[in-house]
Chains A and B, each alone.
Chain A
Amino acid sequence: MKQTQFDINTEIAWCPGCGNFLLLQLLKESLDELDVDPTNVVISSGIGQAAKMPQYVNTSFFNGLHGRGLPVATAISLTNPELLVIAEGGDGDMYGEGGNHFIHTIRRNPNIVHLVHNNMVYGLTKGQASPTSQRGFKTPLQSEGVISEPLNPLALAISLGAGFVARTFVGNRELTKEVIKQAVIHKGYALVDIFDPCVSFNKVNTFAWYKEHSYVLGDDWNASDKIQSLVKSMESDPFPLGVLYENPERQPTLTEMHPAYQKEDTPLFKRRRSVQELTALME
């Protein structure tokens, strides 16, 4: 395995064979290859197997509450725009418990990378349906099969105005690294939905299943046409992989648009208020 400056020697709590091991290595290699300074990275995550990721990466992190990785990441980025902020978690964490934040974070367009491990099942709570579980998927809780329509995060993100929307499969190492790197470079909110099989609780959507039911968008794919991308994002079986949409025009980020940053660029946390400014409040 390739050594990176993001390696950390610690015990890992995932099941043997979990797709997360592969993703952990690919994430570290991607950041390394971009020459990112580890002390300048923050990973914000919630709860779940995917949300344990920052524990195993040599960076700063805020491992908070289930579903709440995005609001924390947004605030970190607003407070210190010089940091590389990654919000990372699973499909239950980000699309279920944190679904409302998913919607509104896209609308805000903070300069963050959003990595979602999508295994179509709940791992940490041992095998219940997730928002992306396919119809008919049987679990101990949904014993007769899932009866709700799976969430389509890509179509949702494109329709809400996300500037960068991609999907990858951990089994495709080169594509995964390439997509993560592009998401890091993209200014603004960047969604990467990552097919990442759960070997313990999802015996349907396995490594082989994801491989068989997906294909990589060709070099001729034009990711800059929003409507075409939206149509593409509706495709399932096989699911398209790669950057489905990237806005060719740079959208201003939340930080750039915020009135507190209109007057000056100094990161918020560095600013100090003078006694004169306060005294003015008594006039």
Chain B
Amino acid sequence: MERQSYSIVLSGEAGQGLQTIESLVISLLQKSGYHAFIAKELMSRVRGGNNTSEIRISSSRVQAFVDRIDVLIVLSKDGLDRLLDRIDEKTLIIGEKDYIQARKTDARLYPVNVKEQMQKVGSQIYANTFFVGVLSTLFSCEEEIARSLLSDRFSSKGESVVENNLKAFDFGKEAAKKSDYHFSIQRDVSVTKMKAIKGFETIGIGALSGGCNFVASYPMSPSTSVLVYLASHERSHSVLVEQAEDEIAAINMALGAWYAGARAMVTTSGGGFALMTEGISLSGITETPVVVHLAQRPGPGTGLPTRTEQGDLNLALYAGHGDFPRVILAPGTWEDGVLLSHQAFEIADAYQVPVFILTDQYYLDGEGVMEKIDFSKLERTNHVIESDASYKRYKITDSGISERAIPGQGKGYVCVDSDEHTEEGRITESAAVRQAMMDKRMRKLSAYKDIEPRVIGAKHYTTLVVGWGSTYGAIEEAIATLDDDGVAFAFFPQVYPLPSGTREILEKAEHLILVENNASAQFGQLIRRDLGIIFDTTILKYNGSPFSVEQLVERIGEVLA
């Protein structure tokens, strides 16, 4: 079935409450049986500036940003300014008359008297809800669902607030009805059974599912949303969340917590993670597991604090002095976010290594629709043993993995040291012990079972597009749009170590295309380093924005032509 989809862009100022519309609309669409996705672009300020959100409504799975704007809702007087090159004669612009005429465009204009009507409701703050009414009607959403979502959302603020929101919704509904515009799209009933979800929630839920019960972090965009999500579950899900004085304290707290028997995580972004790197090395030598959620944003330095990039793969890959094993995972879909975050804790505990979950601003701030996870099917293995009097924390074993006890649980002592150490955890400078311990640590992942790449598209491909992390949705949709039976997409949920099947998958193709949201093709460098495979075409973007579907269709299309 052909994908039918529309893109709606909301353009307003920071502090105008765009997120109120967004979360309502995504739930409304999901409950009405539409696939949906929201991408947010924020300027780095608390008030003013110009923020935009793009809502995709689709007949099939969607998790990608498009340049094309089908419906543009303008909420502020300069709302058109930054969008002119994405508007054409097919775009429908809706908003206050002077806002939508502020710049000359070829678009169809539909002015609405929001200000005047909101005066009747009682306050301009209801303008957002007016537009929920407009969108709900234009796209034939279930009105009753919209009403109950509005009631739920505002019930804590009192009856009159609920009533005013419903009035604003009705004004919006009437405004849309009076227009000649209507957009029809195939529903998918199965979506009504799914869950509307935000990107950061997938990481938080996955962490809780993986047994995370201790989080120490220092706030930094875009990672903070995960910290706040987990803090809001402190009582309900027994997860202890501590705001550390700095990132160095955070990573050391996480290691202390694992040592004492918790499953701990830090959530941070590039600059903050840079401060943690000595702690990652400490995890390496003490064999204390740890999970790091590294939410990427464009660097170097402070970079573009509220935008997106995949520029920290090398940072995660090389963080920490000395040699020690690690695993790096990167979710593409919302389901990946939950499942890989869950898995990160299992891997960290089983192999006593640092495990990274690599996301970015685009993934975390995005919203969409996800299949519900059946948590009873996910494995949670206890790897902690009770010690006896002869317990040795670093016993040399064939697997390289020494049984991990925790202090106070058993008759033994749990002695861990950042100096090179003996099996008992005592400092040593013996060359023989050093070599034996290094060999032991370096073979810890020998029994680890890789999370293999997913190949999507043509079975017998000649051209293969390779991607990881948040580019998933755009690549997947671009490949589907191109509909070429010689092209496929290899998605890597595990970016390091390179999964065992990587060479075979890549070598089947005659032409290899790499897509990365960074300036130096970091994953391409890794594949070249470890496998000697070089990409024929490299498609990179590093201006702070995610790839759009159109950009990838054009660039990949050029290769196929």
Which A residues are within 8 Å of any B CB, using their own CB?
Answer: 10, 13, 38-42, 44, 47, 52, 54-55, 58-65, 68, 70-76, 78-80, 82-83, 100-101, 103-104, 258-264, 268-271, 273, 275, 277-283
Contacts and interface: CB of A to CB of B under 8 A. Distances in A.
Interface string B252-263: 111111011110
Given A103-B245, A269-B213, 16 more contacts: A39-B408, A58-B413, A59-B413, A62-B259, A64-B252, A64-B286, A68-B248, A71-B249, A75-B256, A76-B257, A78-B214, A104-B245, A258-B242, A268-B240, A271-B238, A283-B195
A78 B413 contact: no
9 contacts: A39-B413, A64-B282, A75-B242, A75-B253, A75-B257, A79-B257, A268-B213, A268-B257, A281-B208
B406 A63 contact: no
B209 interface: yes
A260 B211 CA distance: 14
A80 B256 contact: no
B28 interface: no
B416 A62 contact: yes
B134 to A, nearest CB: 29
Interface of B: 195, 205, 208-209, 211, 213-214, 216, 234-242, 244-246, 248-250, 252-257, 259-262, 264, 278-279, 282, 286, 372-373, 375-376, 406-408, 410-419, 425-427
B102 to A, nearest CB: 43
A60 B235 contact: no
B402 to A, nearest CB: 15
A75 B256 CA distance: 5
B372 to A, nearest CB: 5
A278 B209 contact: yes
Contact of A71 (B208, B256, B278): B256
A75 B261 contact: no
Given A72-B252, A73-B256, A78 B240 contact: yes
> Which of A74, A104, A269, A275 has most B Cβ within 10 Å?
A269
A268 B413 CA distance: 20
List the 10 closest A-B pairs by CB distance, nearest first. A269-B261, A75-B256, A72-B256, A79-B260, A60-B407, A104-B245, A260-B240, A75-B253, A71-B252, A278-B375
A100 B244 CA distance: 10
A80 B260 contact: yes
Contacts of B242: 74-75, 78, 258
B408 A273 contact: no
Contacts of B279: 65, 68
B214 A268 contact: yes
A61 to B, nearest CB: 5
A85 to B, nearest CB: 9
